[in-house]
Amino acid sequence: MVTMIEAEPEAIGINPERTAVIVIDMQRDFLEPGGFGESLGNDVSLLGAAVAPIKALLGGAREKRMLVIHTREGHRPDLTDAPKAKVERGDPSTRIGASGPMGRILIRGEAGHDIIPDLYPLAGEPVIDKPGKGAFYATDLYSILLHKGIESLIVCGVTTEVCVHTTVREANDRGFRCIVPADCCASYFPEFHEMGLRMIKAQGGIFGWVSDSKKILSALA
Ligand code: TIU
């Protein structure tokens, strides 16, 4: 059954049974004061705007029994999966692996690496631990989507131009339709958020479609 979703550059039809919602990196390290995001000099409060819209969208998706997948960016405690080129940037006291107020920055198992309580995954929802910005790189996301028969993705999370964009580009090249609800994404740089969304929907939807949580929820209802 095809559900039409209002979007730009044009409406897009999805089959909810073959559509997954992917929530990218809604981690304490990115959203809460004292984490990795703030250590990079960012105003983390800008990301908070996406939390309520994502929560509402997840409510509708779970009601429809759609596949919901969460991702977390982070590394092994011994940093064996962290490229030197990624680690050796910026002030050594705030680098990946350094001690922060929520544990070691972007290290799996530390409090700051985990998903914010407001959007915590439900039992049975896959959580993808990814070492890169894109959710497909060095993870089993592609196998999960293939085995579940997924054709379309609704991609939410942070930040719009970094991990959301990289994931949408990776997914687009693998043949998935990507719908990005604008209010379910956020960036430390509002102008990058805006441009990131414009880049997705330009040229006839070169990477995908841009919609919002209310349009998707009303289509699913
Ligand atoms: N710094 C920044 O904008 N983003 C990241 O490092 N990771 C994600 O976007 N998740």
* pLDDT tens for each residue of 63-96: 999 999 999 999 999 999 999 999 999 889 889 9
pLDDT, one tens digit per residue, over 1-10 is: 899 999 999 9
Straight-line distance from the first to the last Cα atom of the chain, in angstroms, rounded to the nearest whole number: 14
Kindly report the number of other CB atoms within 10 A of residue 212's CB atom: 17
**In whole numbers, what is the pLDDT of the chain averaged over residues?**
97
CATH number at residue 74: 3.40.50.850
Residue 90 is predicted with a pLDDT of 86
Q: Which atom of ligand 1 is nearest to the CA of 188?
A: 3
* Residue 200 resides in a domain: no
Distance 2 CA to ligand 1 centre (A): 34
3-class DSSP assignment, residue 61: helix
- Beta carbon of 162 within 6 Å of any ligand 1 atom: yes
Residue 101 has pLDDT above 90, yes or no: no
* Residue 122 resides in a domain: yes
* Residue 191 resides in a domain: no
Distance 62 CA to ligand 1 centre (A): 26
- Beta carbon of 163 within 6 Å of any ligand 1 atom: yes
* Residue 195 resides in a domain: no
Tell the burial category of 113 from Cβ atoms under 10 Å away from its Cβ (0-12, 13-18, 19+).
buried
Host domain of residue 62: 3-15+32-156+172-186+213-220
Residue 29 has pLDDT above 90, yes or no: yes
Residue 152 is predicted with a pLDDT of 98
- Beta carbon of 38 within 6 Å of any ligand 1 atom: no
Distance 93 CA to ligand 1 centre (A): 18
* Residue 131 resides in a domain: yes
Distance 188 CA to ligand 1 centre (A): 9
- Residue pair 174/136 in contact (Cβ under 8 Å)? The answer is yes
pTM of the model: 0.97
- Integer Cα distance of 37 and 187 in angstroms: 10
**Domain total of the chain:** 1
* Catalytic positions, written as ranges: 25, 130, 163
* Residue 196 resides in a domain: no
Q: Give me the half-sphere count of Cα atoms (radius 13 Å) on the Cβ side of residue 127.
A: 17
Strands 177-181 and 152-158: parallel
pLDDT, one tens digit per residue, over 116-134 is: 999 999 999 999 999 999 9
* Residue 142 resides in a domain: yes
Residue 71 phi/psi, 5-degree rounding, is: -125, 155
- Beta carbon of 20 within 6 Å of any ligand 1 atom: no
* Residue 96 resides in a domain: yes
Residue 30 has pLDDT above 90, yes or no: yes
Q: Where are the beta strands (DSSP E) in 47-140?
A: 67-73, 99-100, 103-104, 127-130
- Beta carbon of 106 within 6 Å of any ligand 1 atom: no
